[in-house]
Amino acid sequence: MVGAKSIAFLCVGLGIKFLLWPAYHSTDFEVHRNWLAITNSLPLSKWYFEDGSEWTLDYPPFFAWLEWVLSLAARWWDPRIVQLDNLGYAARSCVEFQRLTVILSELVLFAALGRFVKASGGTRQSQIAAGLTFLSPGFLFVDHVHFQYNGFLFGILVYSLAFAMEGRDLLAGTMFAVLLCFKHIFVYIAPAYFIYLVLNYCSVFRPRRRQPVSGCALDAGASAWRLAKLGTAVVVVFAVAFGPFAALGQLPQLASRLFPFKRGLCHAYWAPNFWALYAFADRLLILASRFMPALGSARIDLSGLAASTRGLVGDTSFAVLPDIPPIATFIATLVAQIPAYAVLVRSKNKKQRGHQRFIQAVVLCAYASYMFGWHVHEKAILLILVPLGLLTAKPTPGTLRMFAMLSTAGYYSLFPLLFGTQELLIKAAVLLIWVLCALALLKSDRGVSAWRCLLRAERLYVLGHIPLFVATELLPSCAFGRLQFLPLALVSVYTALGVTYSWLGLVYEFAL
């Protein structure tokens, strides 16, 4: 089942991940340490109420249970890790323990990708795609340096998608429900799941008894039974997760923790989505208005001049363009997800490629939420790239081109997460290696490599990341003078161009 080659591959990955232990880790490290302490030291009823530290528990219950299990091991490893008041504890034993838990939990992803390769028929390309996903810069930067548990969570997602590829839809749906109870950000792709399961699993077609030639009719009984099974499974999962808290009457508290809406439209660093381009356009117009006073001298909101990307997380207000309330992002996201729904609805009769269409829909749903969502983190690019990576097992040239563009831009947009000088070489080398391998080794279904598929302009864009790197990371900060926000804004806007282009390309490719 697990070949020698994949073991060797796993060991290479593990080797690099172990070597990265002394690298920079962000406040997320303290967040998770705090959660280990909370779940270990306090009874269940206090988990979502504890706010001794600013890093309160804001993931759904299954993740809290995971932290509890880990905290038992942590207590054995070094009891000071789970002390509640030991804020900011980052001794070597703590770093080693937590990094080790990330590495071990990522084995779930490895196993899931193994299953995916099997479900794809074990082709060489699917192995390459799985390998590129497992060792993607996204996981290395975000999980193993910055510190998070995405590998584990995406492992569950890949398992769910692999089950769908094998045709075991009920299991896929249940796994997705489990995933939602680990991290609720995956709710963005829930519509794709819902529509797919309803159309694929819950709709059972039987040939017409009297006119078998004229097609199939919906078997209401069997469909209802399946719907009931699916519904029960999902309800059971949620009950197991939220039940104890519902019994304690803590659901409103959970809701306020899981869905904090007080933050601004853009993160301190603009994730390269539509709103980044919007904010940039706003700034350009501010600049232009100095030369064209007639443009909006009366309307310029002076508070907008000082806002956004001053490093603080607050409400983003714009000076020239209209402000964006949360409801507008919600509507925009829903509208942008329509192509995803179209992909699924139109494929309901094409059973063979059903799961391919399903993954495409997942990608488009995730993409829409990334492009138009409220307070999107740049880390959310993983939600698009992982399913899209699965599609590169057997891609059309268009898909491959968009994958190349998006992965380069998307992984590059993670660079500001690792801002230290020490990590400069690591991020550059990792991304270069990955991009070289992806462009050379991935081939379209016609056997043309990814680099050859790219159009000339697209190749220029991909290569353009190198001067961008030199300009934003290697030039000393004094070169920018008063425009200290310029490097981050440049990265944001340049990668946003690629991300938007890929989005339009994928919509064209999948939905039209």
String marking each residue 404-423 x if it binds another protein according to CB under 8 A: -----------------xx-
Q: Is 348 left (phi over 0), alpha (psi -120 to 50) or beta?
A: alpha
Q: Is 441 in the site for another protein (CB under 8 A)?
A: yes
Q: Is 12 in the site for another protein (CB under 8 A)?
A: yes
Q: Is 425 in the site for another protein (CB under 8 A)?
A: yes
CB of 25 to another protein, least distance (A): 12
Q: Which of 3, 18, 212, 325 binds another protein (CB under 8 A)?
A: 18
Q: 304: part of which helix (H) or strand (E)?
A: helix 302-306
User: If DSSP codes are grouped into helix, strand and coil, which group holds residue 396?
Assistant: coil
CB of 361 to another protein, least distance (A): 31
Comparison of 17 and 257: residue with beta carbon closer to another protein: 17
Comparing C-alpha atoms, which of 125, 39, 12 is closest to residue 393? 125
Long-range CB contact pairs, 438-442, < 8 A, 24+: 438/132, 438/403, 438/404, 438/407, 439/404, 441/128, 441/132, 442/125, 442/128, 442/129, 442/132, 442/392, 442/395, 442/400, 442/403, 442/404
CB of 411 to another protein, least distance (A): 15
Q: Tell me the backbone φ, ψ of residue 269, rounded to 5 degrees.
A: -105, 125
Comparison of 197 and 462: residue with beta carbon closer to another protein: 462
Q: Is 437 in the site for another protein (CB under 8 A)?
A: yes
Comparison of 349 and 422: residue with beta carbon closer to another protein: 422
DSSP 357-369: HHHHHHHHHHHHH
Comparison of 19 and 228: residue with beta carbon closer to another protein: 19
At 444, list the tokens.
């379209």
Of the listed pieces 74-82, 223-231, 249-257, 437-445, which binds another protein according to CB under 8 A? 437-445
Q: Please give the C-alpha separations between residue 383 and each of 137, 292, 295, 340, 465, in angstroms, as whole numbers.
A: 14, 42, 40, 15, 22
Distance, CA of 480 to CA of 476 (rounded, Å): 8
List all residues 6 or more positions away from 218 whose beta carbon is below 8 Å from its beta carbon. Answer: 203, 204, 205
Comparison of 19 and 345: residue with beta carbon closer to another protein: 19
CB of 172 to another protein, least distance (A): 34
Residues in region 19-78 near another protein by CB under 8 A: 19-23
Comparison of 15 and 293: residue with beta carbon closer to another protein: 15
Comparison of 21 and 55: residue with beta carbon closer to another protein: 21
Of the listed pieces 155-163, 384-392, 429-437, 500-508, which binds another protein according to CB under 8 A? 429-437
Q: Is 8 in the site for another protein (CB under 8 A)?
A: yes
Q: Is 227 exposed, middle or buried (0-12, 13-18, 19+ CB in 10 A)?
A: middle
Report the interface residues with another protein, using CB under 8 A: 8, 11-12, 15-16, 18-23, 421-422, 425-426, 429-430, 432-433, 436-437, 439-441, 449, 451
